[in-house]
Structures are given as structure tokens and as C-alpha cells.
Amino acid sequence: MIAPATPRWWAGAARCAAALTMLVVTAVWAANGGARQAAGGGWAALGAAGRLAALWSANLMLLQVVLMARIPLVERAFGQDTPARWHRWTGFASFHLLLAHVMLATLAYATGGDLLAQFARFVAHYPGMLPATAALVAVVLVVVTSVRRARRRLRYESWHLLHLYAYLGVALALPHELWAGSDFVASPVARAYWWTLYAVAAGSVLVFRVGMPLWRTVRHRLVVDHVVPEAHGLVSVYLRGRHLDRLPVRAGQFFVWRFLDGPGWSRGNPFSLSGPPHGDQLRITVKVLGDGSARVARLRPGTRALIEGPYGRLTAESYRGGPVTMLACGVGITPLLALLWDLPYGHGQATLIYRARHAREVAFLDELEWLAQRRGVRLVPLIGPRARPTSWLSEEYADYTDAQALRELAPDIAGHDLYVCGPDPWTEAVRAAARAAGVPPARLHRERFGW
């Protein structure tokens, strides 16, 4: 079953709704005397500014939860990478506003006295401050581990587990907001707004991150059928299940997979389909890197799978017709191969540029040869060391600029739909070359290939 396309207007409406929430909380603050106190100056102005910072921080934190709740409409409108960028921006903005709230409130109540002593009085005597302090510690932990340098040192599974403390921070902050936050309970409008936003955030997580994955797992009962080596460091897992024709997945999308194969099963890993759904069978292809992917290579037939998804919009929904060029690097071939099977391009209208460090890493040669013979797909392998550290090319194209090589490999590239999948630095180099070659942004399709 194919999910319906999301109307184009919905993306703009979602942005307007998010901006409107910030205006609403600002209006609530102003109506509750915040604007008057801020205009009056002095310590009261600091307190009013601290309250506004708290309102903005709470609003952004709840929007952050909604952004990553994997709501299907949001996924189909924006894909995965755009909400992830917004989630990161709103997270850091919310954190800095939270720190500003703590500092401004402490300054306002200390009125020039001992700041540490005043903060201690807050924690010891003000309503809901103990859980609010625990919430601050949880949010600090999430933010510190989200800094790029720290994140690179963590396994995906560990980072993802620590990231769940953000939900704990949101929950622990609620008592303080209700007991001590006058702007949260100042009027029926304020109470209705905040309870509605909390209900939407909590409901989105419960429905789309918990309920829907459990329902689809139970309904479709996916189990491992067999595991096949595809190339050096690449394996494909074939899965069978029930009623897969009713699973709303398209070629190019991915699921978060958990296999019930022993300790550590609860750590989810995102793997793309490497072929369109076929009958009662699905196929994913995995590069054996970390602990999670290495375990996949050892899966036994009959192992049950828990699924979360499908996610991503690197699908035929974005295809406008006519010539298409795909650029894959390494395991990035996975969703693009599925798209090569699925897209309704004409004979000879598709080009696949396939980058690999060694010939032994090239996968799916039999399928690619079939697509070349039956559908006229032109295969352009780029094998060997990179031409330059910042280039997406192999060394045989060292005399070309990145944009020149793209025009050479895919003539009239500006009129093609361009699909790109690979490691982030390589993908960014391709995108820069595509822009220089005149490819319009609306025809350039990619999904982030990393975390």
C-alpha cells in the first residue's frame, strides 16, 4: 500500500503554525503584565525577561518533541533531514533560553546579593524546583552529548539512549511550570494552550513512536528468511511477513530495525530497503561497521524483527519525469537501487554513478546488469582513491573539476532529477557540484546518510 502524497501547501502551513506558537506564548506573557514590567526597568524587568525566556524555552522544547515524533505528515512533507536540523536548532535554542531563565530569575530575586545562595533557596523552598533542577541536569546531559565533537565519540546506540533523557527533562519540568509559573496558569487561554501543547507532544510520541510501531510489528510479523553476502562488508537480509501489501512503504525509504537475537536487541538501527517491496518479502542491505550492523550479518532464519517506520522521502513521489541521474557511494547504493527498480523512467533515461574505493565493494552487479539490459540504465563506476580530499570523484577524473566531471558523466544534467546517497561529506561535494552544473534545487533529492 503506497502512502498518499502530502500536499505542497502543508509544509508552509506547518512552518506558520510553529511560528504562531511563539507569538501565542509572547502574547500570554504580555497580557500577564510581562511587557509592563519589562518597560519599567530595574530588577522587575529582569524577572519579566526571565519569565519570557522560560516560556520560549518550554515552547521550543515541546516543538522539538513533536518534530522528532516521526509524524507521517511531517516525514512526507520534509523528509528526515530537515526536521532533524530544526530539532537540533530548537534544542540548542531552548537550552540557551533555559539557562537565561535561570540566570535572570536568580539575579532578579537576589537583587544584587549572593547568587549561589539565592539559587539554593530556589531549589530548597520554591514549588517544583527539585524536579525542575533534575530536568535541567537531564537537558544539560542531552545537549553536551549532542555537540558534534562529543557525538562523534559515541556509538549511535549510546547517543540515542542518552538522547531519550530529553523526554525526562520535559516531564520533570512540568510540576515547576504549573506550580510556580504564573504565565502557565494566568488565564483560561494560557491553561488551554499549554495543556493542549503538552497533550499534542505526549500524544505524538505515544502514537507514532510507540503505538504505530507496535501495531505494525504485530500485524506484519516480519522474520528473517535468509542472509546473503553482497560484496566486501555488505550483506542483504531478506525478510518475510504477513500482509506486506498493506505496509505503506515505498522504494527508497528506511525502517528502524530491532532484531530479537539476544542481548542488545533493544538498540534500533536505521536500514534502507534495497529493493521495492515484493509480495510477502522485503530486503535490506547493511554495511558491516559497528556492533549493531555486525550483528545483522549473523542473523539466523526465523529471527523476529521489530520495525519502526517507514521513514524518508527519497522516493518516486519526488520524481518529475524524464531523465534521472543517481549518485551512490558505498552502501548508499541501497535506496538508489530500490529507486532504479521503482521509478517510471523511459528506456535509456537513467544513469547510475557508483563510487567505491575497491572493485570488491561493488554490490548487486547481477541486478545492475539486468537493469542495464532491460531498462537501458547506464552504469558509470568510479573505482579507486579519491581525486582530491574534498572531491566526490575518483582519481581517474583528477583533471576535471567536480562540476565539469558531472556534466561529462551526465550530459544535460540540469534537466535531470538527481538522487544522491552516501556519506555526508561526499554527498555535500556532489550537491555543490550539482549546483555549479545548474541543477535546480527542486530536482536535487537526498536524504542524510549518517547521524
412 CB-contact burial (10 Å; exposed 0-12 / middle 13-18 / buried 19+): exposed
What is the structure's pLDDT at 291?
Answer: 59
Per the domain annotation, does 145 fall within a domain? yes
* DSSP secondary structure of 33-82: THHHHHHH-HHHHHHHHHHHHHHHHHHHHHHHHHHTS--HHHHHHHTTHH
The helix (run of H) or strand (run of E) holding residue 432 is helix 424-436
Residues 54 and 191 placed together within one structural domain of the fold: yes
Closest CA to 377 of 410, 406, 400: 410
**Residue 368's domain spans which residues?**
316-446
The pTM of this model reads 0.78
Using H for helix, E for strand and C for coil, what is the string for 336-360? HHHHHHHCCCCCCCEEEEEEECCHH
71 is written with which cell numbers? Answer: 509524524
Per the domain annotation, does 451 fall within a domain? no
Residues 355 and 292 placed together within one structural domain of the fold: no
What is the structure's pLDDT at 178?
Answer: 67
What is the structure's pLDDT at 451?
Answer: 44
Residues 341 and 402 placed together within one structural domain of the fold: yes
Per the domain annotation, does 48 fall within a domain? yes
Of 180, 211, 242, which residue is a domain's last? Answer: 211
- Using an 8 Å Cβ cutoff, are 98 and 53 in contact? yes
Closest CA to 275 of 363, 193, 188, 372: 363
CB atoms within 10 A of CB 17: 10
Per the domain annotation, does 77 fall within a domain? yes
What is the structure's pLDDT at 3?
Answer: 47
CB atoms within 10 A of CB 293: 18
What is the structure's pLDDT at 406?
Answer: 93
Residues 48 and 76 placed together within one structural domain of the fold: yes
Residues 279 and 355 placed together within one structural domain of the fold: no
Q: Report pLDDT digits (tens) over 236-278.
A: 999 999 998 889 888 888 999 999 988 878 888 889 999 887 7
- Using an 8 Å Cβ cutoff, are 352 and 336 in contact? yes
Q: Report pLDDT digits (tens) over 238-249.
A: 999 999 888 988
Residues 354 and 382 placed together within one structural domain of the fold: yes
Question: What is the domain-level CATH number for residue 330?
Answer: 3.40.50.80
What is the structure's pLDDT at 324?
Answer: 96
Per the domain annotation, does 216 fall within a domain? no
Sign (positive or negative) of CA dihedral 355, 357, 363, 366: positive
Of 311, 337, 360, which residue is a domain's last? Answer: 311
Residues 144 and 227 placed together within one structural domain of the fold: no
The two beta strands, 281-287 and 234-240, are antiparallel
Q: Look at the chain and report how many structural domains it folds into.
A: 3
- Average pLDDT along the chain, 451 residues, taken 10 residues at a time: 50 77 88 85 84 87 84 73 77 85 82 74 71 75 70 64 69 69 75 87 91 94 94 91 89 91 83 85 85 80 94 85 93 92 94 92 92 95 91 91 92 92 91 93 76 44
Residues 306 and 332 placed together within one structural domain of the fold: no
Residues 65 and 194 placed together within one structural domain of the fold: yes
Q: Give the separation between CA 161 and CA 142, rounded to whole angstroms.
A: 10
What is the structure's pLDDT at 4?
Answer: 47
Residues 295 and 335 placed together within one structural domain of the fold: no
Per the domain annotation, does 292 fall within a domain? yes
Q: Give the separation between CA 143 and CA 150, rounded to whole angstroms.
A: 10
Residues 306 and 322 placed together within one structural domain of the fold: no
* DSSP secondary structure of 192-223: HHHHHHHHHHHHHIIIIIIIHHHHHHHHH--E
Closest CA to 384 of 363, 364, 354, 406: 354
Per the domain annotation, does 251 fall within a domain? yes
Closest CA to 1 of 244, 241, 239, 306: 244
- Using an 8 Å Cβ cutoff, are 324 and 387 in contact? no
Instruction: Give 82's contacts (C-beta < 8 A, 6+ positions apart).
Output: none
Of 280, 311, 342, which residue is a domain's last? Answer: 311
What is the structure's pLDDT at 269?
Answer: 85
Residues 323 and 426 placed together within one structural domain of the fold: yes
- Using an 8 Å Cβ cutoff, are 364 and 230 in contact? yes
Q: Angle at Cα 27 formed by Cα 190 and Cα 111, nearest 5°?
A: 90
Per the domain annotation, does 3 fall within a domain? no
